[in-house]
């Protein structure tokens, strides 16, 4: 097993705690599924949010999903003029048998514009 970093992002429609929780859960679920990860594989997760998202912490959503013993950290994204608004980003450190170039980074919805080079659709099952 190696330590890998998995990135992802999503955009929410508004600064609403329920929307932030739903989007965070969806993004985490996609990261876990696409990379065939279990909760035991998680080392830590860093969440960032743009400065227009203030109603709740994305990490609180992860705690509600049961990630109670995984170190989580929220921080503010740099407010760059012209950047995409209402974005939640994730940087998850995980144990994985996958080589670094096989890690599936997940950019959902409008956030796919942030990294079109990494925004592949979900693999067909």
Each residue of 48-82: pLDDT tens digit?
999 999 999 999 999 999 999 999 999 999 999 99
> What are the structural domain ranges in the chain?
2-114
Residues in the chain: 125
| Residue 74: exposure state from Cβ atoms within 10 A (0-12, 13-18, ≥19) | middle
Give the residue-averaged pLDDT of 81-88.
96
Q: What is the pTM of this model?
A: 0.92
Around Cβ 118, how many Cβ atoms within 10 Å? 15
Q: What is the pLDDT of residue 120?
A: 59
Q: 2-114 domain in CATH 3.30.1330.40?
A: yes
Q: What is the pLDDT of residue 88?
A: 98
Residue 123 pLDDT grade (very low, low, confident, very high; cuts 50, 70, 90) = low
Is the predicted pLDDT of residue 125 greater than 60, yes or no?
Answer: no
Question: What b/e readout covers 17-42, taking b as 16+ CB neighbours within 10 angstroms?
Answer: eebbbebbeebbebbbebbebeeebb
């Amino acid at each position: 097993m190696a330590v890998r970093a998995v990135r992802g992002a999503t955009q929410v429609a508004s600064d609403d705690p329920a929307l932030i929780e739903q989007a965070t859960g969806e993004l985490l679920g996609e990261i876990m599924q696409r990379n065939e990860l279990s909760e035991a594989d998680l080392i830590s997760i860093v969440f960032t949010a743009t400065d227009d998202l203030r109603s709740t912490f994305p990490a609180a959503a992860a705690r509600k999903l049961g990630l109670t013993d995984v170190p989580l950290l929220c921080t503010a994204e740099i407010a760059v003029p012209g950047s995409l608004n209402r974005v939640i980003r994730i940087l998850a450190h995980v144990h994985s048998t996958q080589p670094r170039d096989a890690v599936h980074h997940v950019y959902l919805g409008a956030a796919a514009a942030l990294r079109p080079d990494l925004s592949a659709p979900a693999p067909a099952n």
